[in-house]
Structure 1
Amino acid sequence: METLHFRFEAGAKPPAGTPQLVGVVSSGNLEVLIEPAALSGACEIEVRTAAVGFGATWEAVMRDFHARWQLADTRICINDMGATPAVVSLRLDQAVESMTGGLP
């Protein structure tokens, strides 16, 4: 297992809603927990993954996600069992939409 941490400063959109959990940890999938947190406008993401050695790929997916949503004061925890980058992006978008009511 590998744990990765990402922090993106100066987000523009604070979360609106309650914590949400989407996805299921199983072979080739992941779960995402998203919740509001007092982070001085930042978005923190922790990834726990069984696929060791893919830090650069995770960073690219997280940067793309942050560019799309610009979240502020948000904490995200991802538990991964080998999901592809496309599935990661889908689950992250699903988590945000679930918490915000679908507002980008």
Structure 2
Amino acid sequence: MARGNTVWARVYYRNTTGEELRSVLTLMGPGGRTVELHCASAAHDEPGTCETPRVHSSGRPGSATAIAEFMGAGPVEEAPLLLRAGSERAPGARD
């Protein structure tokens, strides 16, 4: 998401697995700057959100990318990746 020179990432989710999930929301901006946020997705069927802090971007509009990953609970090495979703500029979009 962007407003002026401020960018942030937000993911909306609904956990219907009946188990707690781990999620990571990553915002990657120009110049290699990255903000990563770990969110807990409770084991209930209620909608939720996870949002990174808002940061200043000196890049052109639309130059930031966000990735949301949801994985199962348990040891990191053994937790299955359930979903990876990312943002990217629409083809042909203008600045």
- Whether the TM-score (by the shorter chain) exceeds 0.5 is no
Give the TM-score taking structure 2 as reference length. 0.37
Q: Which structure: larger Rg?
A: 2
Using the size of structure 1 for normalisation, the TM-score is: 0.35
Which has the bigger relative contact order, CA under 8 A and spacing at least 6? Answer: 1
